[in-house]
Amino acid sequence: MGDFSLCDLNKNESLVIKEIKISGNLRKRLLDLGFVPGTKVECVRISPFGDPKAFFIRGAVIALRKRDSAAVLGVKI
């Protein structure tokens, strides 16, 4: 289906992470939260204005801003 970023997901859509295209402290933080290649992530909530979105990953719900979620790329499932 091609590569998508987390910010492209609609509610109840999922992807498997392929890569994180960001560096520095934010990359380390995302990796610490479980955003690692091969992990399934599901969009579970979208704020009324569309930003931020909440994602279910490894048993936790984590909200990310659009600019941060755009750096997490993967394949929709």
CATH of the domain at 52: 2.30.30.90
Q: Check if the beta carbon of residue 66 is closer than 8 Å to that of residue 77.
A: no
Does pLDDT of 30 surpass 80?
yes
- How much is the pTM? 0.89
Q: How many domains would you assign to the chain?
A: 1
How far apart are alpha carbons 27 and 44 in whole angstroms? 22
Which residue reads 């992530």 in tokens?
41
* Full residue range of the structural domain in which residue 64 is found: 3-76
Instruction: Tell me what pLDDT residue 3 has.
Output: 83
Q: Is the dihedral of CA 34, 12, 69, 77 positive or negative?
A: positive
pLDDT in tens, 54-73: 999 999 999 999 999 999 99
